[in-house]
Structure 1
Amino acid sequence: MSESGVPPSLLAQRDALLSKLCGASWPFGVLYRALNLAPSADLLDIGAGDGALGREFRRLGHTGQVVGLDPQPSSAAVQAGRTERLP
């Protein structure tokens, strides 16, 4: 169960549907373009899960530091921690 109380399988289904409907990788590619970030900006992804957001941003050409934080990380690329107690 995610912190939002929604099972990860439902979040994955939602993301797959949104990707299909918008014809782009959702939400990462759409989000990256909407943010209009400098390619070298440092990013903190809170609730990073397996670090997919950081991987996708890298794939899209982001060169800044990307740090993922999650209370229960599912990848070695993501640090364990909570927002209210940043490491």
Structure 2
Amino acid sequence: MSWTDERVETLKRMWAEGQSASQIAKELGGVTRNAVIGKVHRLGLSNRVGGNGSREEAEEEAAPAVGAAPASPPPAPPRPEPARPAE
């Protein structure tokens, strides 16, 4: 099986529609799910949102909540050096 221009266009269209790699492989025939996934990555198409949600919904879910705790605690203030006894 070779990736003809027509098959690549079908893959791109189905991927953009949110079809799974398995569904695309079945539609194309003669290609495995893993071959579809590999081609998607080589074409740079892997930046889609999974499931039936829209990209905007996924970005809203990925945004940190207002008032959420910071990712890491702030650094501790420097500790003063202990006083040295007078000689």
Q: TM-score, normalised by structure 1?
A: 0.25
Which structure carries more strand by proportion?
1
Flag the structure with higher helix content: 2
- Normalising by structure 2, what TM-score? 0.25
